[in-house]
Chain A
């Protein structure tokens, strides 16, 4: 089963980065959202896949049933989902504010920090 998800993860990453390479802020945001899913799936698959049985201990047992899913990557991913969502929200607001102040969503037109007509390094002493 893992090879199939490995291919899927590859597709997620490729799509995410293709969008991130865009010059438009909205596409970059979409790419960031997909990249979060790509990373989560990567961790999930690396922890090996088991079908259906969640790592929950029955009332009359002290350990999860045999064949239960790996709990560790799930705990990591749970944290990662929340963090990547807050990261996404922050980027979204940042992009929104950048659009409000700069009047564009094209990264090539955002040249406040690196102006096109750069005077170059100073000469002389």
Chain B
């Protein structure tokens, strides 16, 4: 691979521009109305032209990088990489983005929140552009999550409907989980290769494949790619995302965002691809998705749901092709990815136009629109031809290429899956393009007529691009398909692409088989629909319902856990807290043998023994007091005993304060108690007494051991000596305790006084607040003062 050259700095401006445009969009819409979309479309269009100017250089093999330091201490940069792969995606994002902004302007005309809608669309556009251009793994992750979040906002745009809210949440949960997988994968890749810069990662060759981290990285990347790109059974969010307004479906959920997963697989293919895991898991998952998606599509009658399910199928086909991992299969994947963006974007816009102008998108309630909406009909037909894989469209070229890739790889099971899937897509394509337009005119909820220029421009342009790309195939292949395939393969690739088959080859035979099968299936579409519908109904359960069950299970188990740990009973909370206190004090002493040594019996004076005895008796009196009043009076005993202890050990100031405070406490407590009319006794059952005793005793034991241990350690007198030495000489006070309080630590004392004052104010407020009516019914014996 060639070395990187510096990319022009306007790319960074182009990345920021959609976000800035998103900021002004609501204001602009308020003042400019319908013209706002035309003005805003300039932003992606200018970026599109800029990217077009890079095509020649990139097709010549250049890899352009640039960036800004973002978080240098962690080596995170906001950096971009423009190579064949990212450039093709950037062109899709900005080119289709331009058409979509216009389309959204027409589609949301008159909607009160149209400005916000345009804003969300532009936010998404910026995020998606950042995703495909990101060179740094963390930047990639941030942008990836940003697309998930903007997708959430857009799916839930009509937030007054529960179905839209559910779909938005489901998409966020599934794709968000994938995003976390991506973050983990990026970190592991950094661990395995020493760099998180993608342009350097893809040049590390076999380093990841040889690493023991390969399997975790591979699985995490699959987790990210399969959620975003809707592989079975994680695909359920994509059909549900059709709750979003149609411009969103056309842009996010067919042309761009859902391909981010495929983009990730393609980006990492040079370092992850080609292993047995890769060539086994990806084709199986992709093949299953292809078949399930097409069968589900056949079952639908809603135009958007038909398209959504075929999008799932197409994503499956792309994953399958990337999984085959040969050059030819990659060329097929790249061609199909581009072709799909053109025709599926166009068909979604057509479906939205029909819905907008006729008032319904149920295919069984539509018919005969060809004379009323001729331009829409024509562009639908062009797109359907491409989707069906018929000449002269790019879809045909892509299908020939992918059949060639599968055939070369000799994977016959995959060939069969691809033929069946493509045949069913042929059916759906024409069902969408023909059924609403042909046949007798049907009465529709709205009087149908051709859409305004904003609505029909997109399908026309995309149809023309799909045709032009096929007619100018050589140039298209040289400038887009082959550079992109080269970036995916990790080396330059060549391919034999053709619009007109010159000889009878296997791909041509497979194409003819596809068409034959498709025509047969189209003729018996209603039978097919009924039978698939019958099978689905008979099964009766799908991953969509499974999602609801998982969510309900999580919520219910969270509720159950909360009911256990938060039962609303104070004594349990206290027991839990105290139990942990006891464990944190005692456990280290036991585990690390850090407990105190046996202290021996201390030499005590008789007075000291007596005072300690009185304190213990006071405590016991409080505990055993039968009535509350006795307990309150007993409270004074231990308090005064503590005061006497202070006297005995040289702390007269403390003793004085303690006498005051204890007296006040007992008097106030007794006064307040007499104003409550409570039962005389409060009895705890024995069982509770026992456990309370165990918990309280353990905490008491813990503090005793802690204090013993502390007093057995050497004593550091530094601070005490400081205060003793300077109390008189500097602060001119003889009572050292007082000097500390009012002088050395005077500011602390100010704080203490403030606390006391605030407490006093709070008490005053509590007392003077007028008593409300009791919230709970007052017990009969309680009489209110």
Cβ contacts A10-21/B at 8 Å (1 or 0 each): 111111111111
List of A residues within 8 angstroms of B632 by Cβ:
26, 30
CB neighbours of B745 from chain A (8 A): 75
Q: Roughly how many angstroms separate A85 CA and B699 CA in the complex, as a whole number?
A: 23
Which of B454-462, B487-495, B552-560 is near enough to bind chain A? B552-560
Q: How would you classify the secondary structure of chain B's contact residues: helix, strand, loop or mixed?
A: helix
Give every chain B residue within 8 A of A112 (Cβ-Cβ).
775-776
Which secondary structure dominates where chain A touches chain B?
A: helix
Chain A nearest CB from B564 CB (Å) reads: 12
> Given A6-B711, A69-B650, A19–B622 Cβ distance below 8 Å?
yes
Q: Tell whether, in the assembled complex, residue A125 and residue B616 are in contact, meaning their CB atoms are under 8 Å apart.
A: no
A70 near B162: Cβ-Cβ < 8 Å: no
State the Cβ distance, A5 to closest chain B Cβ, in Å.
8
Contact residue among A13, A81, A102 (Cβ-Cβ distance under 8 Å from B776): A102
CA distance A21 to B604 in the complex (A): 34
CA A96 to CA B767, docked complex, whole Å: 9
Bound-complex Cα distance A92 to B496 (A): 90
Contact of B724 (CB < 8 Å), options: A63, A82, A125: A63
**Inter-chain contact A17/B578, CB cutoff 8 Å:** yes
Question: Which residues of A lie under 8 Å from residue B717 when comparing CB positions?
Answer: 70
In the complex, are the beta carbons of A56 and B735 less than 8 A apart? yes
Check if B476 is an interface residue, CB within 8 A of chain A. Answer: no
Question: A6 → chain B, closest Cβ, in Å?
Answer: 4
Size of the A side of the interface (Cβ < 8 Å), in residues, is 103
B772 close to chain A: CB less than 8 A: yes
Q: Does any Cβ of A come within 8 Å of B447's Cβ?
A: no
One digit per residue, 1 when the CB lies within 8 angstroms of any chain B CB and 0 when it does not, for chain A 83-102 equals 10111111011101101111
* B696 interface contact, C-beta 8 A: yes
Q: Closest residue of chain A to B709, judged by CB?
A: A6
Whether, in the assembled complex, B700 has its beta carbon less than 8 Å from a beta carbon of chain A, the answer is yes
In the docked arrangement, what's the CA distance between A58 and B734, Å?
7
Interface residues of B in 747-780 (CB under 8 A from A): 748-749, 752, 755-756, 759-760, 762-763, 766-767, 769, 771-772, 774-779
Residue of B nearest to A50 (CB): B650
Instruction: Please pick, from A11, A37, A56, the residue contacting B642 in the complex, using a CB distance under 8 A.
Output: A37
Instruction: In the complex, identify which listed stretch (B100-108, B179-187, B377-385, B673-681) lies at the interface while the others stay far away.
Output: B673-681
Query: Chain B residue with minimal CB distance to A42?
Result: B707
Residues in B whose Cβ lies below 8 Å from that of A55 = 650, 724, 735-737
The reply to whether A26 and B749 form a contact with Cβ atoms under 8 Å apart is no
Q: Is the CB of A88 within 8 A of B602?
A: no
Contact, CB under 8 Å: A14 / B724: no
Enumerate chain B residues within 8 angstroms of A33, measured Cβ to Cβ. 635, 639, 665, 669
With A44-B646, A74-B654 as contacts: A96 and B675 at CB distance below 8 Å: yes
- The listed residue (B695, B779, B784) touching A21 by CB distance below 8 A is B695
Stretch from B141-149, B352-360, B567-575 at the A interface = B567-575
- Interface pick from B65-73, B529-537, B656-664: B656-664
B668: chain A residues at CB < 8 Å are: 89, 92
Question: Quick one: which of A5, A45, A57, A121 contacts B558, CB cutoff 8 A?
Answer: A121
Kindly state the separation between the CA atoms of A46 and B615 in the bound complex, as whole angstroms.
Answer: 19
Q: Taking the complex as formed, is B592 at the interface, i.e. its CB lies under 8 A from any CB of chain A?
A: no
Of B661, B692, B769, most buried by chain A (CB within 10 Å of CB) is B661
Binds A, one of B13-21, B340-348, B463-471, B725-733: B725-733
What residues on A are CB-neighbors of B206 within 8 Å?
Answer: none
Contact A12 B678 (CB under 8 A): no
B692: nearest residue on chain A (CB-CB)?
A21
Chain B residues with CB under 8 A of A108: 569-571
A21 contacts B578, C-beta separation under 8 Å:
yes
Interfacial chain B residues near A105, Cβ < 8 Å: 676, 678
> Which among B601, B678, B785 has the highest number of chain A CB atoms within 10 Å?
B678
B38 touches A (CB below 8 Å): no
In the assembled complex, how far is the CB of residue B321 from the closest CB belonging to chain A, in whole angstroms? Answer: 36
- A residues within 8 A CB of B562? 121
The complex places the Cα of A33 from the Cα of B672 at a distance, in Å, of 15
User: Is the beta-carbon distance between B741 and A89 smaller than 8 angstroms?
Assistant: no
Query: Once bound together, how far apart are the Cα atoms of A38 and B645, in whole Å?
Result: 13
- How many B residues touch the partner, as a band? 35 or more
A93-B600 CB under 8 A given contacts A51-B650, A59-B734: no
The reply to whether A34 and B724 form a contact with Cβ atoms under 8 Å apart is: no
Instruction: Report yes or no: A17 in contact with B695, Cβ–Cβ below 8 A.
Output: yes
- Contact residues, B513-567 vs A (CB, 8 A): 552, 555-556, 558-559, 562-563, 566-567
Which residues of chain B are within 8 angstroms of A75 by Cβ–Cβ distance? 737, 740-741, 745
**Other-chain contact of A18, B558, B692, B762 (Cβ < 8 Å):** B692
B571 touching A22, Cβ below 8 Å: yes
- Tell me the minimal C-beta distance from A54 to chain B in angstroms: 5
B763 touches A51 (CB 8 A): no
Question: Please, how many angstroms separate the alpha-carbon atoms of A57 and B162 in the complex?
Answer: 79
Contact A10 B704 (CB under 8 A): yes
Q: Which residues of B contact A99 (CB under 8 A)?
A: 676
Cross-chain contact of B608 among A1, A11, A103, A116 (Cβ < 8 A): A1
The answer to whether B711 and A2 have CB atoms under 8 Å apart is yes
What is the bound-complex CA distance between A58 and B649, given in angstroms?
18
Point out the residue from B658, B707, B720 that lies within 8 Å of A72, measured CB to CB.
B720
Please, how many angstroms separate the alpha-carbon atoms of A86 and B751 in the complex? Answer: 13
User: Which residues of the partner chain B approach A92 to less than 8 Å between Cβ atoms?
Assistant: 668-669, 672
A residues near B678, Cβ cutoff 8 Å: 26, 105
Q: What 1/0 flags go to A62-80 for Cβ under 8 Å of B?
A: 1110001111101101110
* Residue numbers in B under 8 Å from A21 (CB-CB): 571, 574-575, 578, 692, 695-696
29 interchain pairs, CB-CB under 8 A: A1-B608, A2-B708, A3-B601, A5-B612, A9-B704, A10-B700, A10-B704, A13-B699, A14-B699, A17-B695, A22-B684, A23-B571, A33-B639, A34-B635, A45-B707, A54-B652, A54-B737, A55-B737, A59-B734, A78-B657, A85-B664, A86-B759, A89-B668, A89-B759, A90-B762, A100-B771, A101-B771, A104-B776, A122-B555
- New A-B pairs, 19, CB < 8 Å, besides A40-B642, A77-B654, A89-B668: A1-B602, A2-B707, A4-B604, A15-B619, A33-B669, A37-B642, A53-B650, A57-B734, A57-B735, A58-B734, A74-B654, A75-B745, A82-B756, A83-B755, A89-B763, A97-B771, A100-B785, A103-B782, A109-B776
B: residues with CB less than 8 A from A are: 162, 165-166, 169, 552, 555-556, 558-559, 562-563, 566-571, 574-575, 578, 599-604, 608, 612, 615-616, 619, 622-623, 628, 631-632, 635, 638-639, 642, 645-646, 648-654, 657-658, 661, 664-665, 668-669, 672-673, 675-676, 678, 682, 684, 692-693, 695-697, 699-701, 703-705, 707-708, 710-711, 715, 717, 719-720, 723-725, 727-729, 734-737, 740-741, 745, 748-749, 752, 755-756, 759-760, 762-763, 766-767, 769, 771-772, 774-779, 782, 784-785
Which 3 A-B residue pairs are closest in the complex by CB-CB distance?
A14-B700, A10-B704, A69-B650
